[in-house]
Amino acid sequence: MPCTVTAFSVKIASPGDAAIELIIAREVIYDWNALHSLEQKRVLLPLDGAGKAEGAREVPPSDMLIAFFCASQGTPSVRAASGADTEIEKQLEAGRPALVYFSEARVDLIGTHPLPPRALDEFKKRYAAATIDSYGDEKEFRAKFARHLEATISHHLHFKTVATAPAAAPVAVPVAPLSPCAREILIEACDDFEAYIGRIKVGTMLKIQANGKQLVEQGNPEAVAKWDGAFGELLTGGFIRDAGCNGQLFQISTKGFEFLKSIGKTPVGYIAELGGM
């Protein structure tokens, strides 16, 4: 029986060099999904970077913003925070949560340069509505972020408002005729745990990857044209959606899952299961 699943976008922004922190943040989000998504009928979708393709219009604030300040040169209040300040302000003005973290004693979890302790106090005064904290090592950051994530989703007004909003009546999605290549892309992505599709196009070179498989035969212009058309067919038809990474990563949409169910394909993975319910 159809049910409503709410997808929340979580933008992970790092003004400095915080590679390890980014990995930990995504792992904590995936852990939350694995534990709570099926029961609560909502899923967190992490987005890295700007979350939009070059030349695209400005995207609205994500449901949750996570920012790290771990700049190796300058200080958060002078260089790294120049762009992040505006983003945090927009997030809070929209009534959406922002979680901000400062490296307490080092640039990042593998660095050695200290950050000024006053930066944390300045941000707490400036953004009282945000959750702001510091960390000293990987274990401390993981524990704090997991605790803050759970508290934010459970108590922040934005998540309560979305959760209690009346659900729209389900709309039947007609089975559209898709080309064999378009169907194959969807089917392979359906077998991926997160239903991801990777696409890179540079000049005459095209790569489309799903479920760990490279689908486009290289060095064959006819194959490139065929698969390129199939991908465009899915995107313009609403069967897949942009998942970030500068337009190089996509996921199956609700319409795509409905189509897969209509041809007897059973989704796998927690995102696929939620989208296909």
Q: What is the pLDDT along the chain (277 residues), one digit of tens a residue?
A: 345 668 888 888 765 555 688 888 889 998 998 888 888 888 888 875 544 433 344 556 789 988 877 644 344 444 444 566 778 888 888 889 999 888 775 444 444 455 555 666 777 788 888 898 888 888 888 999 999 999 999 888 888 766 554 545 545 544 557 889 999 999 998 888 778 899 998 888 899 999 888 999 888 889 899 999 999 999 998 899 888 777 788 988 888 888 888 888 877 654 555 544 4
Range of the domain at 61: 6-164
Cβ-proximal residues to 242 (8 Å cutoff; 6+ apart), any chain: 53, 249, 250
Q: How many residues does the chain have?
A: 277
Contact between residue 133 and residue 148 where contact means Cβ atoms under 8 Å apart: yes
Are 188 and 79 within one domain?
no
42 in helix, strand or coil? strand
Are 87 and 193 within one domain?
no
pTM: predicted TM-score of the whole model, two decimal places: 0.52
Choose the final residue of a domain: 97, 132, 164. Answer: 164
1 in any annotated domain:
no
45 in any annotated domain:
yes
Are 157 and 190 within one domain?
no
* Integer angstrom CA distances of residue 212 from 137, 184, 185, 188: 33, 13, 12, 9
116 in any annotated domain:
yes
Choose the final residue of a domain: 110, 139, 164. Answer: 164
Q: What is the CA radius of gyration of the chain?
A: 21
